[in-house]
Structure 1
Amino acid sequence: MSTQKVWFVTGASKGLGLSLVKQLLAAGHNVAATSRRLDDLSRAVGTADNFLPLAVDLTTESSVAQAINQTIEQFGRIDVVVNNAGYGQLGSLEELSDAEARTNFDVNVFGPLNVIRHVMPQLRSQQSGYIINLSSIGGFVGNFPGFGVYCATKFAVEGFSEALAAEAKAFGIHVTIVSPGYFRTEFLTSGSLGTPANPIDAYQSVRESQQAHQEQINGNQPGDPEKAVAILIRLADEPNPPLHLFLGQDAFDTATGKITALQQEMTTWKNVTTSTGFDAPALA
């Protein structure tokens, strides 16, 4: 580790967030970490002079602003922001209610936007900083039955992160979108995965996907979370970190499959695509 940094990590009481905080503290970094419940965070991490646990409702701007301010008061600056908090939402687009969909967007999309909005003034004033936004392979590939709303939230994260990278570049601020595949965390447990209140039996593929994720994939994910967070820490020392980083062989293979299929489809339909200009020849 080249230099000691100040990290601000959301969703730190379990999963990748918890592993990240523990590794950061062990390496001597200053860490402010958030959770909805302070007791859960303090119990999971413990206490240390370089650790600031914060109870934060990421969907409430005032709560986020207070957490950012407390971090700056405690440590004097913020070097790395990790928007990790979020949860999965199962259910077909038809069976999920408006409230279920909006709640997933509130946490997964508007939560990190609140953090970005309130941390950017500090990063701009420093003329430096690094924002890591946790997406998912489901933010790049959406063909997972029953995960349409969740994928939509992560597609949104990828979209605003690309724009943020372009906007923040002039201030010396880097942005990376991290898109993990399946890692062996609590993500597929009931506390981190919402299920539809009113399931529709006709969606056999969704029910099969739900059963597979909850009963077969959960606990058998191929990814090691400790290796994943070690990579996140390494990224913060890179002078030119990537905009997109897929984590896991499964994520790499799935992304490669989509890119290949998209290229083939674009080639097949190129004549149609390019036929719409005023000067383009008409299709036969």
Structure 2
Amino acid sequence: MKTNQIWFVTGASRGLGLALVRQLLATGYSVAATSRNLAELRGTVPPEQAGFLALHMDLGDEASVQQALTAAVTHFGRLDVVVNNAGFGQLGALEELTDAESRRNFDVNVFGLLHVLRHATPLLRAQGRGRVFNIASIGGFTGAFPGWGVYCATKFAVAGLTASYAAEVREFGVQASVVYPGYFRTDFLTASSLGTPAQPMAAYQAVRESQQAHEQSINGNQPGDPEKAAQVLIEVSHAEQQPLHLFLGADAYQLADQQLQAVQQDMQQWQAVATATDLAVNA
């Protein structure tokens, strides 16, 4: 694979973003990497490394996003691959989460991603080529996780907007994928990356059990290797036609299969009634 691609990766100071940046640099790619915490990013990836540009970017500030993208293009001359990886998890039953907690998750996971697309797309469109990977979650394909309703809603939004975005930019030579990772062994479930409700309600036993399981049992025992996930993204970036839907991990495939079967079952069960809804045609 040719390694002359220039990548723009958000949320690069930890997790999948960090694994991707390290692997790209190790194999000769050029990378503009962003983080809210520039010192943390520079501490994990030495800034003097060739082909690496560390940038501060606040996803909640559209001007900051535009400045980071402008700096990347000024430095490298172009961008070939954009990875919208930045985001965080928000636990809590829909009833117990405050409006501010819910909106904060959407501001980062959805509107922050939109800020990047809004300012990266003119660059990709003008050059007539480009690849985009929007990192969602298997929770953006199936929402059957008690306590993850708002987070799943943000990732369902990412899936929906990516599908429309891919259709919009296809004529300009730009391809886009929504990526659905399963459980990968990153710090996603640690206290520094996971939001929890300020006002938990004891009535939601299933939510509390889910929260405890994710914080204590699943955290640190996730089956997925982020280094291998990064390898998949790099390989797909060179495919002649990248997939619109990219599932990562055996667990993601299993959960997706279960969701597809459940949808098909519901459709078949109610098809006769639900499709008899057209306006009557006079003989």
Q: TM-score range by the shorter chain?
A: over 0.9
Residue 87 of structure 1: aligned partner = 88
SS in 2 for 1:70: helix
1:127-166 mapped onto 2 (5 Å cutoff): 127-166=128-167
2:26 aligned partner = 26
Q: CA deviation at 1:277?
A: 0.3
Q: Given the alignment of the two structures, is residue 191 of structure 1 paired with residue 157 of structure 2, yes or no?
A: no
Q: Name the residue aligned to 1:278.
A: 279
- Distance in 2, matches of 1:120 and 1:245, equals 21
Normalising by structure 2, report the TM-score: 0.98
Q: Following superposition of structure 1 onto structure 2, how do residues 53-132 of structure 1 map, counting pairs within 5 Å?
A: 53-132=54-133
1:172 paired to 2:168: no
SS class of match (1:77): coil
> In structure 1, what is the equivalent of residue 245 of structure 2?
244
Paired with 1:99 and 1:280, the residues of 2 have a C-alpha distance of 50
Cα distance in 2 between the residues matched to 1:146 and 1:261: 20
- In structure 2, distance between residues paired with 1:279 and 1:130: 47
Question: Which letter maps to 2:203?
Answer: A
Cα deviations by residue, 1:22-57 (Å, 9 ceiling, x for unpaired): 000111111000000110000011121310000110
CA deviations on 1:185-212 (whole Å, 9 max, x unpaired) are 0000011110000000000000000000
CA distance in 2, matches of 1:170, 1:44: 38
Distance 1:2 1:278, change over 3 A: same
Distance in 1 (CA, whole Å) between partners of 2:263 and 2:16 is 31
Question: Gapped runs of 5+ residues in structure 2?
Answer: none
| Equivalent position amino acid for 1:175 in 2 | A
Q: For residue 220 of structure 1, what is the amino acid of its counterpart?
A: N
Output one character per residue of 1:209-265: Cα deviation in whole Å (capped at 9) or x when no partner: 000000000000011111000101111100101000111111101100110111111
Query: What letter corresponds to residue 92 of structure 2 in structure 1?
Result: G
> C-alpha separation between the residues in 2 aligned to 1:156 and 1:138?
11
Q: TM-score, normalised by structure 1?
A: 0.98
CA–CA distance in 2 between the matches of 1:7 and 1:225? 18
Structure 1 regions of 5+ residues with no counterpart? Answer: none
Partner of residue 36, structure 1: 36
CA apart distance, 1:280? 7.7
- Offset of residue 4 of structure 1: 0.9
Report if aligned partners of 2:3, 2:27 keep a CA contact under 8 Å in 1: no
User: Identity, % of aligned pairs?
Assistant: 59
Instruction: Supply the distance in 1 between the matched residues of 2:279 and 2:233 (Cα, whole angstroms).
Output: 48
Which residue identity does 1:103 align to in structure 2? R
1:137, distance to aligned residue in structure 2 (A): 0.4
CA distance in 1, matches of 2:190, 2:280: 56
Whichever residue aligns with residue 249 of structure 2, its letter is G
Runs of 4+ in 1 over 2 A off after TM superposition: none
* C-alpha displacement of 1:279: 3.1
Q: Is the 8 A contact 1:274 1:280 kept in 2?
A: no
Deviations 1:3-35, CA, capped at 9 Å, x for gaps: 411100000000000000000011111100000
